[in-house]
A and B are shown apart, each in its own frame.
Chain A
């Protein structure tokens, strides 16, 4: 095993897949220098033809990815901030997501849309969003939201090898997080949840940064409550079985999501738990998510995004 930062884990995955398959290439704004560091340095090994800096043109970044994927390339399109993916809405939501389906399966779209997501950096409404629910809502897109360096690497490799459009959102505040990964090659399959901490009293389901929040709270509460933290790792496909199994054991569930509460990821997971494990619940499911506001900049961010104290209060209340 070796210790590695989250950002480096993504970088390694990209490097390995670029080496493994010459159809893989990266396209986006400033990817050679790398705005967040995930693609930094790759140009030295793979050259500017495969680590392609583009103009400020998200629509064609997405379009080029979709178009070339249809011919067998495996592009990783980078959008810097997930917020900027809105600019390429038609290409992502209507083309990448639907074109295999509407053409009767005659074409495939093996591509990755990658971007940083999330808040806690006080960057305001247009640089802080966690738009997972929009992607999860859209049939045809897969959605990866890693929470550890190990998952970040293994899931990126699977995302690139997948024959479908995969949205891969890395949290900008997790990039410095260190974690262990094997020296040898590995992949993490899409659609397999991971139990990040075992427990018997309460199930907490979370992705991305929220996993780290939940783990911190679980540790703080360990004398009082035994918390099981489940990270689905991919929201589509969603490994609901692992979540349900846990809920059957604990009888209590809290879903934590950085995205807006209304119609968010947490709402969906909650609904599935209700459908599949209602008889096992000892208490109403709790949902911790961002308040139904745009994410403000400055100090006001704290009042909108979910905080560890909210998770703590919910666990204490539900376990009571």
Chain B
């Protein structure tokens, strides 16, 4: 698919909204409105939005846990308000306020989210299997981190997706860190993509800070999957701007990451670089940029108010949730 100007603007807007939603979630955590924890997605917006934009609503999406999926959710057409309300523990949340931070939006193909890292592999395999059985050219986008790739279930799922030629696009957000552990001490090779090629899954490594590079790679894989040509894998090299979990130490093993290191990373901020590109190409004007920013801020303020005003769930719902009729 050739990206039109409107598409580029949608992607830019979605990245900005992702960042603003991230910021308001952090603020909510600090103010005690967000009840559990939050793993900021700052630095990986280009991957999330590049990967999940312009999919079909019925394509399945397993969002990466960072940002609790927000960039992917917004790009796929999901609701930031449902996301935030869930984090505030309100009945208007995407899981009726009983999950705390998981997100589900089956109408947009987001069937659920896990607290256990690495669940993505076997579960997405199931979604991919269903997509193949349905025969409607749906695809499954299955996202995980470099840390998640250390789970053994990756191998079982990669292998079977290849053997069964399932329409799955495996996407790795490789930000080089898993909580406090750097990938150099957790993985024997340089590229996680090599794990896919080992199972005859075509794989590419892309610059995850470049939304266009991500999008093109994912779309190529999506087209192949829709055409029945089986799974692909994309490894995107990204950055994690913030500490693992808001408020946790920002360390590599037990050594703090330095301000210089973080500042260096932030020079690659995918929102800033994409903005510069769009301004240069004349796709956006300075006024457009300002409006997008203001609109996103207004949207977040409105969301926050809505979530604050929402009711907490009625505990009688719990009994209806354990078993289906």
Contacts and interface: CB of A to CB of B under 8 A. Distances in A.
A300 B181 contact: no
A7 to B, nearest CB: 15
A58 to B, nearest CB: 8
Contacts of B132: none
B315 interface: yes
Given A55-B181, A55-B187, A300 B315 contact: yes
Interface in B75-90: 86, 88-90
B314 to A, nearest CB: 10
B89 A122 contact: yes
A30 B115 contact: no
Given A83-B116, A291-B318, A304-B318, A29 B98 contact: no
Contact of A56 (B186, B249, B251): B186
Interface magnitude class on chain A: 35 or more
B98 to A, nearest CB: 4
A59 interface: yes
Contact of A297 (B102, B181, B187): B102
Task: Give the secondary structure class of B's interface.
Answer: loop
Contacts of A304: 318
A285 interface: no
B98 A300 contact: yes
Nearest to B97: A298
A32 B254 contact: yes
A68 B86 CA distance: 43
B310 to A, nearest CB: 12
A30 B89 contact: no
B181 A299 contact: no
A298 B150 contact: no
Interface residues of B, number: 42
A87 B116 contact: yes
Interface string B276-304: 00000000000000000000000000000
A55 B322 contact: no
A200 interface: no
Nearest to A30: B180
A237 interface: no
Contacts of B187: 55
B322 A127 contact: no
Contact of A296 (B98, B150, B253, B254): B98
B114 interface: yes
A87 B151 contact: yes
A32 B180 contact: yes
A140 B145 CA distance: 35
B180 A56 contact: no
A83 to B, nearest CB: 7
B38 to A, nearest CB: 12
Contacts of B321: 293
Nearest to A57: B150
Given A29-B179, A292-B322, A293-B322, A55 B98 contact: no
A123 B37 contact: yes
A53 interface: yes
A47 to B, nearest CB: 12
Nearest to A58: B151
A221 B237 CA distance: 60
Contact of A299 (B97, B253, B254, B319): B97
Given A30-B180, A83-B116, A294-B322, A57 B151 contact: yes
A111 B187 CA distance: 26
B318 A293 contact: yes
B179 A30 contact: yes
B179 to A, nearest CB: 5
B312 A299 contact: yes
A101 interface: no
Task: With a 10 A CB-CB cut-off, give which of A56, A126, A298 has the most chain B CB atoms.
Answer: A298
Interface of B: 35-37, 86, 88-90, 93, 97-102, 114-118, 147-148, 150-152, 178-181, 185-187, 249, 251, 253-254, 312-313, 315, 318-319, 321-322
16 contacts: A29-B179, A33-B249, A43-B254, A123-B100, A123-B115, A291-B318, A296-B318, A297-B98, A297-B101, A298-B35, A298-B36, A298-B98, A298-B99, A300-B89, A300-B315, A304-B318
Across the A-B interface, the 6 shortest Cβ-Cβ residue pairs = A297-B100, A298-B89, A126-B115, A55-B150, A55-B186, A124-B100
